[in-house]
Structure 1
Amino acid sequence: MTYVFSPTAVPSLAVAGSADLFPVRRILCVGRNYADHAREMGSDPDREPPFFFSKPGDAILPASGTVPYPTQTSRLEYEVELVVAIGVGGSSIPATSALDHVWGYGVGVDLTRRDLQQQAKDTRRPWDVSKGFDASAPVTPLIPAASLAGGPGAGRIWLAVNGGVQQDGDLADMIWPVADIVAAASRSWRLAPGDLIFTGTPSGVGPVSPGDAVTGGVAGIGSFEFTIGAAPAA
C-alpha cells in the first residue's frame, strides 16, 4: 500500500532534559475549570460538570520565540493552563487509577480568537474556528510524571504580559483535579498515548497585541517566554 501523497510530519513536543520527542495525537481542553474564571465568563461553577472542546494536534508549537498573530481576529486572548500528556490509553478510566495513564506534564497557553468565539456563542455555532486555529497551542517541554510523585495537585500558575501579571492562581483551585479530568475525558473518548489535555485556566484572561512579550508558568512544571508576532496583512 502506498499513500497518494507523503503524510505530514507527526506533531511533537520536546521532553525537558532529553533529546526525545513526545508525539502528539490530539488536544482536548477543559472549559471553565477554575471557579473564578467560570464567573469571569458568566457561568455558575457550582452547577457545571467538566466539559471539553478540542484543538487539532498540529495546533501545538513551542512556547518560545515568536508565536504568530492569527488571521480573522482583532481580539486574541491568552489562557495559561497545566497540560497533561497521556501515555497509557483507555476508556471509562476510574479516577482512582487515572494518574497511572499520565506520561507527563507541561504548561500551555490556550490562545483564543475571542471575538469569533463570542460570535459563535451568539449564533449557537461551534467554537472550532475560535479555538482550533493554526499555532493556537504553545506548550513548554514536557516533564515525566515519574518526577512528580502523586501529580501536581497544587502550585502557582501564572501569566504576564509585558511584565505585568494578569493571571495568578493555584492548581489547588481547579474545580476538577487532574485525575477527575482524565477520567471524565475517557468516558467520552478512548484516550490513547499522545493525547494532550489542557486542564483549564484561572481568572484574568485578556487580550494580547503584536509585539507583546508573554511569560508565565506553573510551579514545578515549567515556564515560558514568547513574543506575539506581527498581525497578518489585511
Structure 2
Amino acid sequence: MKLMRVGAPGQERPALLDTSGVIRDLSGVVPDIGGEVLLPQGLQALRALDHTRLPALDAGLRVGPCVGRIGKFICIGLNYSDHAAESGMPIPNEPIVFSKWLSSVVGPNDDVRIPRASEKTDWEVELGVVIGQGGAYIREEDAMAHVAGFCVINDVSERSYQLERGGSWDKGKGCDTFGPIGPWLVTSDEVADPHALDMWLDVDGHRYQNGNTRHMIFKVPQLVAYLSQFMSLQPGDVISTGTPPGVGMGIKPTPVFLRAGQRMRLGIQGLGEQSQFTVAS
C-alpha cells in the first residue's frame, strides 16, 4: 500500500493511493497514519478494505508528511561509503546517530526556508524507514518485522551550523522545514529489497545526486537493531538512513549551497518524488 496524508498543514487526513492512482480517503476508517495504525494488525486491516469503496479525494490537495504523530526522527550520518569519501571523512565503525527536531517535519512539496544568515544550506536525498511494531533490544534477524514501510526524506542541512559551530550536528539538521517526508509511506511488503533502490536529487534541473541504496554501510536491519540498544523504538518513529554522494558540501573545487528561489526535486525508485522551493526565512 501507498499510505499518505493530505490537506492543509495541521489538518491532514489519512489517505491511500490506490492501484489506479486515485487518492482514497481513510478518515472514516483510521484517525491518522501513525501510532497503532502502523502495527502489523493495523496495516493488515487497511489491506483488507475494498479500496474502490473508499471516497475519492481531489488530486490537487496538498500532500502532507506521510506519517503523523511522529515520536522520534532519528538520522544516520555518513552511511554511504562513497559519501564518506567525498566528505573526506573515514568510514565509521558504528552508525553516527543524530536527531532532527519534529518542528522540521513538512510535506514533500512544501517550501524549505533558508535560515537567516545561512550561507551553507545543503540537500540530502535519503531512504526513510518507518517503524511499525516497536521494541527494544531487537535482534538483527528480527528487525525487518519491526518496519512498517519506507519513504523519501530530504535531510536538509545547514553545514556551518552542523560542523563549524561546536557541539553536536543537531543544530544544523533540525531547522524548521528541514525534514520533508513523503509523498507516500510504501508498506514493506511492496519493497522487495530496500538495498537496491535508485535515488536522485536535482537543483534547478541539474542532477547532483545519483546513487543507490546498495552502497549503505549499515543496512536497515543493522540500523534498527543498533538503535534499539539505546532507545525503545515505537510505532511511527522515523529513521533517515543516510545519503549518497553529490551533496553541495562535497562538490569540488568549490562547494555549492542553496539560496532562496531555487527548486529541489528528488526521488527514490518506487517510493515517489518530492519537489521543494527554497524561500528566505
Q: How does the TM-score come out when normalised to structure 1? A: 0.86
Matches within 5 A, 1:28-43: 28-43=74-89
* Alpha carbons of structure 1 residues 15 and 190: separation in structure 2 relative to 1, 3 Å: farther
For the residue of structure 2 that corresponds to 1:172, the secondary structure is helix
Cα distance in 1 for residues equivalent to 2:242 and 2:132: 20
* Alpha carbons of structure 1 residues 76 and 214: separation in structure 2 relative to 1, 3 Å: same
**1:152 aligned to which of 183, 194, 208:** 194
Aligned to 1:138: 180
Aligned to 1:163: 205
**Which structure features the higher share of strand residues?**
1
What displacement does 1:168 show?
A: 0.6
Percent identity, aligned pairs only?
Answer: 33
Q: How does the TM-score come out when normalised to structure 2? A: 0.72
For the residue of structure 2 that corresponds to 1:33, the secondary structure is coil
Cα distance in 2 for residues equivalent to 1:99 and 1:76: 33
What displacement does 1:69 show?
A: 1.9
List gaps (5 residues or longer) in structure 1.
1-8
**1:209 aligned to which of 259, 262, 267:** 259
* Alpha carbons of structure 1 residues 60 and 203: separation in structure 2 relative to 1, 3 Å: same
For the residue of structure 2 that corresponds to 1:158, the secondary structure is strand
Give the letter aligned to residue 32 of structure 1: L
Cα distance in 1 for residues equivalent to 2:14 and 2:77: 25
For the residue of structure 2 that corresponds to 1:58, the secondary structure is helix
Q: Matched residue pairs, number?
A: 218
Cα distance in 1 for residues equivalent to 2:127 and 2:247: 15
Matches within 5 A, 1:1-234: 16-17=16-17, 18-19=24-25, 20-21=32-33, 22-23=67-68, 24-45=70-91, 47-120=92-165, 123=166, 125-140=167-182, 141-149=184-192, 151-206=193-248, 207-229=257-279, 231-232=280-281
List gaps (5 residues or longer) in structure 2.
1-8, 18-23, 26-31, 34-66, 249-256
Aligned to 1:5: none
CA radius of gyration, larger in: 2
Compute the RMSD of aligned alpha carbons: 2.1
Cα distance in 2 for residues equivalent to 1:215 and 1:60: 17
